[in-house]
Structure 1
Amino acid sequence: MESPFRVWIDEDIADLIPGYMGRRREDLANLSALLELEEFEGIAFIGHSMKGSGGGYGLFAISEMGRDLERDGGLRNGVLVKNSLDRLEHYLNHVEILIKPCER
C-alpha cells in the first residue's frame, strides 16, 4: 500500500534525514509531556523550531505542523494542541521518504 505522505529528498541531505526524523519523534514525546503539564510556552517554542526546520529538509508538512503548534501553544488551547500532536504522530508514522539524485 502506498504511503499517503511521499516526500522526495535530495540525495545530498539523505544521510541527515534519520537523525532529523528521530528528533521530531523526541519532540512528539516532549510535546505530549508538556501538554500534560499545560506548559503551553514550551509547546509554542518547540512548534516554532519545527516551523523553521522542516522546509530545509524538504519536509514542508513538518513546518506547517510546527506553525500550528506554535499558534495552538500561544492560544493555550489544549484541544488544538492535542489535534496537532495527533496529526504529527500520524505523519511521522506514515511518511515515506524517497531519495532523488541531485541536479548538477
Structure 2
Amino acid sequence: KELEDLIPTYLSNLEKNMQKIAAAAAAGNQDEVRSLGHNMKGSGGGYGFQQVSEIGKSIEEAAKTGDLDTIPAKIKELKHYLANIDISYV
C-alpha cells in the first residue's frame, strides 16, 4: 500500500527530471546530466521500473563520455516507456 501511494509522486518527479536532463544536455552540462541519470538509475528498480533504471544508466554513461547528442533519443525512449506502462497493484 505504501508503494502504491508513492508511485504517482515518483512518476511526476521523473517527468520533471526528464525536463531537467533535456535542458542540461542542451546547455552542455555533462555533470548535471550524469547526476540526474545516476539518480534515475538508482531509483527505477526500487519502484518496480527496471527499464527506468536501464535508461538512467544509459543517460549517465552518455554524459560520462560527453555524448550528449544522444540524450533526446533516450528521453524519448523513456517517455514512450512511461506512456505504455500498465501499473497494477497486487
TM-score, length basis structure 1: 0.80
The structure with the largest strand share of the pair is 1
Counterpart for residue 5 of structure 1: none
Query: Deviations along 1:45-91, whole A, 9 cap, x unmatched?
Result: 00100111111111111111110010011111122222211111211
Of structures 1 and 2, the larger Rg is shown by 1
Counterpart for residue 50 of structure 2: 60
State the aligned residue count: 90
Instruction: Note the 1:19-58 alignment, pairs <5 A.
Output: 19-58=9-48
Query: Deviations along 1:25-61, whole A, 9 cap, x unmatched?
Result: 0011111111110111111100100111111111111
Structure with bigger RCO (C-alpha 8 Å, 6+ apart) = 1
Distance across 1 between alignment mates of 2:46 and 2:27: 31
- The root-mean-square deviation of aligned C-alpha atoms, in Å, is 1.2
Match of 1:72 among 48, 62, 70: 62
Query: Displaced runs of 4+ in structure 1, greater than 4 A?
Result: none
**Structure 2 portions without partners, runs of 5+:** none
TM-score, length basis structure 2: 0.92
The structure with the largest helix share of the pair is 2
